[in-house]
Chain A
Amino acid sequence: MAAPRAGWQSATLRDKRTETDRAATLHLLTDAWPGHRAGQHVDVRLTAEDGYQAQRSYSIASPPEDDGDVALTVERLDDGEVSPYLVDEMAPGDMCELRGPIGGWFVWDADDGGPLLLVGGGSGVVPLMSMLRHRAALHSGVPARLLLSARSLDDVLYADELHGLDAGDDELDVSITLTRTAPPDWPGYARRVDRPMLEEVAWPAADRPRVYVCGPTPFVESVAAGLVDLGHDAGLVKTERFGATGS
Protein backbone atom coordinates (compact mmCIF):
# COMPACT_ATOMS: atom_id res chain seq x y z
CA MET A 1 0.00 0.00 0.00
CA ALA A 2 1.00 3.59 -0.33
CA ALA A 3 2.34 5.08 2.86
CA PRO A 4 -0.22 7.28 4.59
CA ARG A 5 0.51 10.98 4.42
CA ALA A 6 2.40 11.93 7.51
CA GLY A 7 0.68 15.25 7.95
CA TRP A 8 -2.77 16.55 8.67
CA GLN A 9 -4.76 18.15 5.89
CA SER A 10 -7.41 20.80 6.33
CA ALA A 11 -10.82 19.61 5.20
CA THR A 12 -14.03 21.49 4.59
CA LEU A 13 -17.46 19.97 5.02
CA ARG A 14 -19.01 20.21 1.59
CA ASP A 15 -22.24 18.41 2.29
CA LYS A 16 -23.90 16.44 5.04
CA ARG A 17 -26.58 13.84 4.58
CA THR A 18 -28.73 12.44 7.36
CA GLU A 19 -28.71 8.65 7.17
CA THR A 20 -30.70 7.69 10.27
CA ASP A 21 -31.74 9.32 13.56
CA ARG A 22 -28.24 8.69 14.85
CA ALA A 23 -25.99 8.75 11.83
CA ALA A 24 -24.93 11.16 9.12
CA THR A 25 -22.60 11.05 6.15
CA LEU A 26 -20.08 13.87 5.93
CA HIS A 27 -18.61 14.75 2.55
CA LEU A 28 -15.24 16.34 3.24
CA LEU A 29 -13.17 18.18 0.71
CA THR A 30 -9.39 18.38 0.95
CA ASP A 31 -6.88 20.06 -1.31
CA ALA A 32 -4.97 16.91 -2.11
CA TRP A 33 -6.61 13.64 -1.15
CA PRO A 34 -4.02 10.95 -1.96
CA GLY A 35 -6.70 8.36 -2.75
CA HIS A 36 -7.70 5.35 -0.70
CA ARG A 37 -8.62 1.69 -0.91
CA ALA A 38 -12.04 0.33 -0.01
CA GLY A 39 -12.13 -0.51 3.70
CA GLN A 40 -9.57 2.02 4.92
CA HIS A 41 -10.18 4.64 7.59
CA VAL A 42 -9.05 8.15 8.40
CA ASP A 43 -8.21 10.04 11.54
CA VAL A 44 -10.29 13.16 12.11
CA ARG A 45 -8.95 15.99 14.28
CA LEU A 46 -11.08 18.78 15.70
CA THR A 47 -9.58 21.93 17.20
CA ALA A 48 -11.60 24.12 19.56
CA GLU A 49 -11.09 27.87 19.71
CA ASP A 50 -9.18 27.45 22.98
CA GLY A 51 -6.76 25.11 21.22
CA TYR A 52 -8.16 21.89 22.68
CA GLN A 53 -7.91 19.05 20.17
CA ALA A 54 -9.58 15.67 19.85
CA GLN A 55 -8.87 12.86 17.39
CA ARG A 56 -10.95 9.87 16.38
CA SER A 57 -10.80 7.25 13.63
CA TYR A 58 -13.69 6.79 11.18
CA SER A 59 -14.19 4.40 8.28
CA ILE A 60 -14.44 5.78 4.78
CA ALA A 61 -17.80 5.11 3.13
CA SER A 62 -17.02 6.35 -0.35
CA PRO A 63 -15.28 4.20 -2.96
CA PRO A 64 -11.79 4.94 -4.28
CA GLU A 65 -13.44 5.98 -7.55
CA ASP A 66 -15.06 9.07 -5.97
CA ASP A 67 -12.31 11.56 -6.55
CA GLY A 68 -14.33 14.60 -5.52
CA ASP A 69 -14.45 14.20 -1.77
CA VAL A 70 -14.12 11.72 1.08
CA ALA A 71 -17.36 10.51 2.67
CA LEU A 72 -17.43 9.38 6.30
CA THR A 73 -20.56 7.96 7.87
CA VAL A 74 -20.53 8.70 11.59
CA GLU A 75 -22.86 7.35 14.25
CA ARG A 76 -23.54 9.54 17.27
CA LEU A 77 -22.37 8.16 20.62
CA ASP A 78 -24.41 10.16 23.12
CA ASP A 79 -21.65 10.50 25.69
CA GLY A 80 -19.03 11.07 23.02
CA GLU A 81 -17.09 14.23 22.42
CA VAL A 82 -16.48 14.11 18.70
CA SER A 83 -19.35 12.17 17.11
CA PRO A 84 -22.16 14.44 18.45
CA TYR A 85 -20.32 17.41 16.95
CA LEU A 86 -19.86 15.72 13.58
CA VAL A 87 -23.41 14.38 13.38
CA ASP A 88 -25.38 17.27 14.91
CA GLU A 89 -23.40 20.49 14.83
CA MET A 90 -20.95 20.56 11.99
CA ALA A 91 -22.40 22.42 9.02
CA PRO A 92 -21.32 22.87 5.41
CA GLY A 93 -18.37 25.25 5.27
CA ASP A 94 -17.08 24.19 8.70
CA MET A 95 -13.58 22.78 8.90
CA CYS A 96 -11.67 19.95 10.48
CA GLU A 97 -8.49 18.06 9.70
CA LEU A 98 -8.03 14.65 8.13
CA ARG A 99 -5.15 12.27 8.14
CA GLY A 100 -4.93 9.17 6.04
CA PRO A 101 -5.95 6.94 4.52
CA ILE A 102 -4.90 4.42 7.14
CA GLY A 103 -4.79 0.64 7.26
CA GLY A 104 -3.51 -1.91 4.80
CA TRP A 105 -5.29 -5.01 6.09
CA PHE A 106 -9.05 -4.55 6.18
CA VAL A 107 -9.16 -3.62 2.49
CA TRP A 108 -10.62 -5.16 -0.62
CA ASP A 109 -9.64 -4.35 -4.18
CA ALA A 110 -11.77 -5.70 -7.02
CA ASP A 111 -8.59 -7.34 -8.34
CA ASP A 112 -8.46 -9.44 -5.17
CA GLY A 113 -11.45 -11.36 -6.51
CA GLY A 114 -13.95 -13.33 -4.49
CA PRO A 115 -16.37 -14.61 -3.68
CA LEU A 116 -16.85 -11.83 -1.19
CA LEU A 117 -18.68 -12.16 2.11
CA LEU A 118 -19.36 -8.97 4.03
CA VAL A 119 -20.92 -9.06 7.49
CA GLY A 120 -21.69 -5.76 9.20
CA GLY A 121 -23.22 -4.90 12.56
CA GLY A 122 -24.76 -1.43 12.88
CA SER A 123 -22.39 1.21 11.54
CA GLY A 124 -19.90 -1.59 10.89
CA VAL A 125 -21.41 -1.60 7.42
CA VAL A 126 -19.58 1.63 6.56
CA PRO A 127 -16.25 0.20 5.30
CA LEU A 128 -18.19 -2.67 3.68
CA MET A 129 -20.24 -0.09 1.78
CA SER A 130 -17.03 1.37 0.41
CA MET A 131 -16.21 -2.13 -0.90
CA LEU A 132 -19.66 -2.58 -2.48
CA ARG A 133 -19.52 0.88 -4.06
CA HIS A 134 -16.03 0.11 -5.36
CA ARG A 135 -17.31 -3.18 -6.79
CA ALA A 136 -20.26 -1.40 -8.43
CA ALA A 137 -18.16 1.47 -9.79
CA LEU A 138 -15.92 -1.00 -11.61
CA HIS A 139 -18.86 -3.17 -12.73
CA SER A 140 -16.96 -6.00 -11.12
CA GLY A 141 -18.71 -9.31 -11.52
CA VAL A 142 -17.18 -10.71 -8.32
CA PRO A 143 -19.99 -12.60 -6.53
CA ALA A 144 -20.74 -10.82 -3.27
CA ARG A 145 -23.02 -11.24 -0.31
CA LEU A 146 -23.73 -8.75 2.43
CA LEU A 147 -25.31 -9.69 5.73
CA LEU A 148 -26.27 -6.56 7.64
CA SER A 149 -27.49 -6.56 11.23
CA ALA A 150 -29.36 -3.54 12.59
CA ARG A 151 -31.63 -2.92 15.54
CA SER A 152 -34.60 -1.83 13.45
CA LEU A 153 -35.40 -0.90 9.88
CA ASP A 154 -34.89 2.76 10.79
CA ASP A 155 -31.33 1.97 11.84
CA VAL A 156 -30.30 0.39 8.53
CA LEU A 157 -27.68 2.56 6.87
CA TYR A 158 -27.86 3.05 3.10
CA ALA A 159 -31.13 1.07 2.91
CA ASP A 160 -32.31 2.52 -0.41
CA GLU A 161 -28.92 2.33 -2.06
CA LEU A 162 -28.42 -1.27 -0.94
CA HIS A 163 -31.84 -2.18 -2.25
CA GLY A 164 -30.97 -0.64 -5.59
CA LEU A 165 -27.60 -2.33 -5.82
CA ASP A 166 -29.14 -5.67 -4.91
CA ALA A 167 -32.01 -5.36 -7.37
CA GLY A 168 -29.79 -4.56 -10.32
CA ASP A 169 -27.05 -7.10 -9.79
CA ASP A 170 -27.45 -10.86 -10.10
CA GLU A 171 -24.08 -11.41 -8.50
CA LEU A 172 -24.95 -9.47 -5.34
CA ASP A 173 -27.20 -10.62 -2.51
CA VAL A 174 -28.07 -8.36 0.40
CA SER A 175 -29.57 -9.92 3.53
CA ILE A 176 -30.74 -7.84 6.47
CA THR A 177 -31.51 -8.99 9.98
CA LEU A 178 -33.35 -6.80 12.49
CA THR A 179 -32.46 -7.60 16.07
CA ARG A 180 -34.95 -5.54 18.10
CA THR A 181 -38.02 -4.59 16.15
CA ALA A 182 -39.16 -5.71 12.73
CA PRO A 183 -42.27 -4.69 10.77
CA PRO A 184 -45.03 -7.35 10.74
CA ASP A 185 -44.53 -8.04 7.04
CA TRP A 186 -40.72 -8.05 7.26
CA PRO A 187 -39.39 -10.65 4.82
CA GLY A 188 -35.84 -10.75 6.20
CA TYR A 189 -34.34 -12.19 9.33
CA ALA A 190 -35.40 -10.89 12.74
CA ARG A 191 -32.83 -12.11 15.25
CA ARG A 192 -29.18 -11.77 16.11
CA VAL A 193 -26.78 -13.31 13.62
CA ASP A 194 -26.40 -16.95 14.58
CA ARG A 195 -24.82 -20.01 13.12
CA PRO A 196 -27.86 -21.20 11.11
CA MET A 197 -28.11 -17.72 9.58
CA LEU A 198 -24.43 -17.74 8.68
CA GLU A 199 -24.84 -21.19 7.21
CA GLU A 200 -27.64 -19.91 4.97
CA VAL A 201 -26.03 -16.64 3.95
CA ALA A 202 -22.31 -17.35 3.88
CA TRP A 203 -20.71 -19.13 0.97
CA PRO A 204 -19.78 -22.72 1.70
CA ALA A 205 -16.38 -22.80 3.38
CA ALA A 206 -15.10 -24.85 0.45
CA ASP A 207 -15.63 -21.81 -1.82
CA ARG A 208 -13.03 -20.00 0.30
CA PRO A 209 -14.74 -16.60 0.30
CA ARG A 210 -12.85 -13.50 1.34
CA VAL A 211 -14.62 -12.47 4.50
CA TYR A 212 -14.82 -9.02 6.08
CA VAL A 213 -16.59 -8.62 9.42
CA CYS A 214 -17.04 -5.20 11.01
CA GLY A 215 -19.08 -4.07 13.99
CA PRO A 216 -19.08 -3.84 17.76
CA THR A 217 -16.77 -6.31 19.47
CA PRO A 218 -19.39 -8.84 20.70
CA PHE A 219 -20.88 -8.95 17.19
CA VAL A 220 -17.51 -9.48 15.54
CA GLU A 221 -16.49 -12.09 18.11
CA SER A 222 -19.68 -14.05 17.55
CA VAL A 223 -19.69 -13.85 13.75
CA ALA A 224 -15.99 -14.64 13.33
CA ALA A 225 -16.19 -17.58 15.73
CA GLY A 226 -19.30 -18.87 13.92
CA LEU A 227 -17.58 -18.74 10.56
CA VAL A 228 -14.51 -20.56 11.87
CA ASP A 229 -16.86 -23.19 13.35
CA LEU A 230 -18.42 -23.60 9.91
CA GLY A 231 -15.01 -24.43 8.52
CA HIS A 232 -13.93 -21.07 7.12
CA ASP A 233 -10.18 -20.53 7.13
CA ALA A 234 -9.41 -18.08 9.95
CA GLY A 235 -6.75 -16.60 7.70
CA LEU A 236 -9.43 -15.45 5.23
CA VAL A 237 -11.59 -13.79 7.89
CA LYS A 238 -10.60 -10.16 8.35
CA THR A 239 -12.17 -8.25 11.20
CA GLU A 240 -12.49 -4.68 12.30
CA ARG A 241 -14.00 -3.85 15.67
CA PHE A 242 -15.09 -0.61 17.21
CA GLY A 243 -16.67 0.88 20.23
CA ALA A 244 -17.15 -0.05 23.82
CA THR A 245 -17.16 -3.63 24.97
CA GLY A 246 -18.42 -3.06 28.48
CA SER A 247 -15.76 -5.45 29.69
Chain B
Amino acid sequence: MSPPFSRGFHRRHEAERADADRVPPGQYVVNDFPVLSAGPTPHTPLDQWSFTINGAVDEPRTWTWEQFQTLPAEEVTRDIHCVTHWSKLGTTWRGVAVDTLLQGIETSAEYVVEFADGGYTTNVPLDDLRDGKAWVAYEFDGEPLESEHGGPARMLVPHLYFWKSAKWVRGLTLSDDDRPGFWEQNGYHNYGDPWREQRYWND
Protein backbone atom coordinates (compact mmCIF):
# COMPACT_ATOMS: atom_id res chain seq x y z
CA MET B 1 0.00 0.00 0.00
CA SER B 2 1.47 3.33 -0.97
CA PRO B 3 1.70 5.98 1.72
CA PRO B 4 -0.88 8.77 1.85
CA PHE B 5 0.12 12.10 0.30
CA SER B 6 0.46 15.04 2.60
CA ARG B 7 -1.56 17.62 0.68
CA GLY B 8 0.56 20.62 -0.25
CA PHE B 9 3.85 19.18 0.93
CA HIS B 10 6.76 19.41 -1.48
CA ARG B 11 10.54 19.26 -1.48
CA ARG B 12 12.10 22.54 -0.43
CA HIS B 13 15.78 21.72 -0.58
CA GLU B 14 16.64 21.08 -4.22
CA ALA B 15 20.35 21.22 -3.49
CA GLU B 16 20.19 17.88 -1.75
CA ARG B 17 19.48 16.15 -5.05
CA ALA B 18 23.09 16.45 -6.17
CA ASP B 19 24.20 14.20 -3.34
CA ALA B 20 21.13 12.01 -3.36
CA ASP B 21 23.09 8.79 -3.83
CA ARG B 22 25.08 9.58 -0.68
CA VAL B 23 22.03 10.04 1.53
CA PRO B 24 20.46 6.89 3.00
CA PRO B 25 16.66 6.51 3.08
CA GLY B 26 14.85 8.70 5.61
CA GLN B 27 17.83 11.02 6.10
CA TYR B 28 18.31 14.71 5.28
CA VAL B 29 21.54 16.64 4.88
CA VAL B 30 22.63 19.21 7.45
CA ASN B 31 25.53 21.62 7.30
CA ASP B 32 25.91 22.13 11.03
CA PHE B 33 26.74 19.39 13.48
CA PRO B 34 23.85 18.50 15.80
CA VAL B 35 24.49 16.73 19.08
CA LEU B 36 22.74 13.72 20.55
CA SER B 37 23.68 12.39 23.95
CA ALA B 38 21.85 10.95 26.89
CA GLY B 39 23.38 12.85 29.79
CA PRO B 40 25.80 15.53 30.89
CA THR B 41 29.03 15.91 28.90
CA PRO B 42 31.96 14.35 30.80
CA HIS B 43 35.28 16.19 30.93
CA THR B 44 38.19 13.87 31.55
CA PRO B 45 41.56 15.67 31.86
CA LEU B 46 44.08 14.35 29.35
CA ASP B 47 46.50 13.28 32.08
CA GLN B 48 43.78 10.99 33.43
CA TRP B 49 42.69 9.70 30.02
CA SER B 50 43.58 6.27 28.77
CA PHE B 51 42.40 3.89 26.10
CA THR B 52 42.06 0.19 26.88
CA ILE B 53 41.39 -2.96 24.91
CA ASN B 54 40.27 -5.75 27.22
CA GLY B 55 37.92 -8.72 27.48
CA ALA B 56 38.58 -11.81 25.37
CA VAL B 57 42.18 -10.91 24.51
CA ASP B 58 45.47 -12.59 25.34
CA GLU B 59 46.48 -9.58 27.38
CA PRO B 60 44.71 -6.22 27.92
CA ARG B 61 46.41 -3.17 26.37
CA THR B 62 46.27 0.38 27.66
CA TRP B 63 47.59 3.59 26.18
CA THR B 64 47.89 6.92 27.96
CA TRP B 65 46.97 10.08 26.02
CA GLU B 66 50.64 10.72 25.40
CA GLN B 67 51.24 7.20 24.12
CA PHE B 68 48.12 7.36 22.00
CA GLN B 69 49.41 10.47 20.25
CA THR B 70 52.54 8.61 19.14
CA LEU B 71 50.49 5.95 17.29
CA PRO B 72 50.28 6.34 13.51
CA ALA B 73 47.26 8.53 12.75
CA GLU B 74 45.15 8.75 9.62
CA GLU B 75 43.06 11.55 8.17
CA VAL B 76 39.73 10.30 6.85
CA THR B 77 36.80 12.04 5.18
CA ARG B 78 33.46 10.29 5.51
CA ASP B 79 29.70 10.88 5.46
CA ILE B 80 28.02 10.37 8.83
CA HIS B 81 24.40 9.43 9.50
CA CYS B 82 22.50 9.97 12.77
CA VAL B 83 19.41 7.92 13.55
CA THR B 84 17.58 11.19 14.30
CA HIS B 85 17.49 11.63 10.50
CA TRP B 86 20.36 14.01 9.82
CA SER B 87 23.35 13.18 7.67
CA LYS B 88 26.47 15.27 7.37
CA LEU B 89 28.50 14.76 4.22
CA GLY B 90 32.25 14.90 3.88
CA THR B 91 33.30 15.23 7.51
CA THR B 92 37.05 15.14 8.10
CA TRP B 93 38.59 13.45 11.09
CA ARG B 94 42.02 12.49 12.33
CA GLY B 95 42.63 9.51 14.54
CA VAL B 96 44.03 6.05 14.97
CA ALA B 97 42.59 3.14 12.99
CA VAL B 98 41.22 0.34 15.15
CA ASP B 99 43.33 -1.96 12.95
CA THR B 100 46.41 -0.24 14.36
CA LEU B 101 45.21 -0.75 17.94
CA LEU B 102 44.44 -4.42 17.32
CA GLN B 103 47.87 -5.19 15.87
CA GLY B 104 49.48 -8.04 17.78
CA ILE B 105 46.35 -8.77 19.81
CA GLU B 106 45.25 -12.38 19.80
CA THR B 107 41.51 -12.91 20.06
CA SER B 108 38.77 -15.26 18.98
CA ALA B 109 36.14 -12.65 19.85
CA GLU B 110 33.46 -11.75 17.34
CA TYR B 111 31.88 -8.84 19.19
CA VAL B 112 32.93 -5.57 20.77
CA VAL B 113 31.41 -3.23 23.32
CA GLU B 114 32.72 0.33 23.01
CA PHE B 115 32.74 1.91 26.47
CA ALA B 116 32.93 5.59 27.31
CA ASP B 117 33.10 8.15 30.08
CA GLY B 118 29.64 8.74 31.50
CA GLY B 119 28.80 5.03 31.28
CA TYR B 120 27.73 4.93 27.62
CA THR B 121 28.19 1.66 25.78
CA THR B 122 27.42 0.45 22.27
CA ASN B 123 27.97 -2.93 20.67
CA VAL B 124 29.34 -3.77 17.21
CA PRO B 125 30.61 -6.91 15.53
CA LEU B 126 34.42 -6.91 15.59
CA ASP B 127 34.52 -7.25 11.80
CA ASP B 128 32.80 -3.85 11.56
CA LEU B 129 35.78 -2.21 13.26
CA ARG B 130 38.40 -3.92 11.08
CA ASP B 131 39.89 -3.38 7.63
CA GLY B 132 39.83 0.39 7.59
CA LYS B 133 36.24 0.77 8.75
CA ALA B 134 36.71 2.39 12.18
CA TRP B 135 38.92 4.85 14.02
CA VAL B 136 39.42 6.42 17.41
CA ALA B 137 39.26 10.06 16.33
CA TYR B 138 40.63 13.03 18.26
CA GLU B 139 40.47 15.78 15.64
CA PHE B 140 37.52 17.12 13.68
CA ASP B 141 38.07 19.54 10.79
CA GLY B 142 41.70 19.98 11.81
CA GLU B 143 40.92 21.00 15.39
CA PRO B 144 40.98 19.02 18.62
CA LEU B 145 37.59 17.35 19.03
CA GLU B 146 35.28 19.45 21.23
CA SER B 147 33.89 17.74 24.31
CA GLU B 148 30.26 18.12 23.22
CA HIS B 149 31.10 16.16 20.07
CA GLY B 150 32.89 13.48 22.06
CA GLY B 151 36.33 14.89 22.76
CA PRO B 152 39.01 14.24 23.71
CA ALA B 153 38.42 11.12 21.59
CA ARG B 154 35.45 9.33 20.09
CA MET B 155 34.85 6.32 17.91
CA LEU B 156 34.27 6.88 14.21
CA VAL B 157 32.36 4.00 12.62
CA PRO B 158 30.82 5.90 9.73
CA HIS B 159 29.16 3.00 7.93
CA LEU B 160 26.74 2.54 10.86
CA TYR B 161 24.31 5.01 12.44
CA PHE B 162 26.32 7.44 14.51
CA TRP B 163 25.22 6.19 17.93
CA LYS B 164 27.57 3.28 17.14
CA SER B 165 30.43 5.80 17.26
CA ALA B 166 30.75 6.27 21.02
CA LYS B 167 31.63 9.76 22.20
CA TRP B 168 34.19 10.11 25.02
CA VAL B 169 35.33 6.57 24.23
CA ARG B 170 37.76 4.97 26.67
CA GLY B 171 38.11 1.50 25.27
CA LEU B 172 36.86 -1.64 23.62
CA THR B 173 35.79 -4.82 25.36
CA LEU B 174 36.05 -7.84 23.07
CA SER B 175 33.80 -10.81 23.71
CA ASP B 176 32.57 -14.04 22.18
CA ASP B 177 28.93 -13.08 22.65
CA ASP B 178 26.97 -10.02 21.57
CA ARG B 179 25.97 -7.72 24.45
CA PRO B 180 23.51 -4.95 23.57
CA GLY B 181 24.69 -1.49 24.61
CA PHE B 182 22.84 1.55 25.93
CA TRP B 183 20.56 2.57 23.05
CA GLU B 184 20.38 -1.03 21.87
CA GLN B 185 18.63 -1.81 25.18
CA ASN B 186 16.44 1.27 24.80
CA GLY B 187 14.61 0.58 21.58
CA TYR B 188 17.29 1.04 18.93
CA HIS B 189 18.48 -1.54 16.41
CA ASN B 190 21.24 -3.93 17.39
CA TYR B 191 23.28 -3.41 14.20
CA GLY B 192 22.23 -0.01 12.78
CA ASP B 193 22.96 -0.04 9.04
CA PRO B 194 21.65 3.29 7.67
CA TRP B 195 21.36 1.92 4.11
CA ARG B 196 18.98 -0.75 5.35
CA GLU B 197 17.33 1.82 7.65
CA GLN B 198 17.90 -0.28 10.74
CA ARG B 199 16.81 2.38 13.23
CA TYR B 200 14.72 0.60 15.81
CA TRP B 201 13.96 -2.80 17.22
CA ASN B 202 12.26 -5.00 14.61
CA ASP B 203 13.62 -3.01 11.64
Interface residues of A (CB under 8 A from B): 1, 3-6, 8, 10, 43, 45-50, 52-57, 80-81, 84-85, 89-91, 94-97, 102-106, 217, 221, 224-225, 227-228, 234-235, 237-239, 241-247
Contacts of B11 in A (CB 8 A): 48, 50, 52, 54, 81
* Bound Cα distance A243, B32 (Å): 9
Closest to A3 in B: B201
Would you list which residues of chain B between 1 and 45 have a CB under 8 Å from chain A?
A: 3-13, 26-28, 30, 32-42
Contacts of B106 in A (CB 8 A): none
Shortest CB-to-CB span from B119 to chain A, Å, is 7
- Judged by DSSP, the binding face of B is loop
- Judged by DSSP, the binding face of A is mixed
Contact A234 B39 (CB under 8 A): yes
Contact A89 B9 (CB under 8 A): yes
Contact B185 A104 (CB under 8 A): yes
Q: A95-B7, A105-B183 are in contact. List 6 more A-B contacts (CB 8 A).
A: A47-B6, A57-B84, A85-B6, A89-B9, A228-B40, A247-B32
* Bound Cα distance A227, B3 (Å): 45
Q: Known contacts A95-B5, A217-B148; decide if A235 and B119 are in contact (CB<8 Å).
A: yes
Contacts of A43 in B (CB 8 A): 26, 85
* Bound Cα distance A235, B186 (Å): 16
Pick from A53, A54, A102: contact of B200, CB under 8 Å: A102
Contacts of A228 in B (CB 8 A): 40
* Bound Cα distance A95, B26 (Å): 18
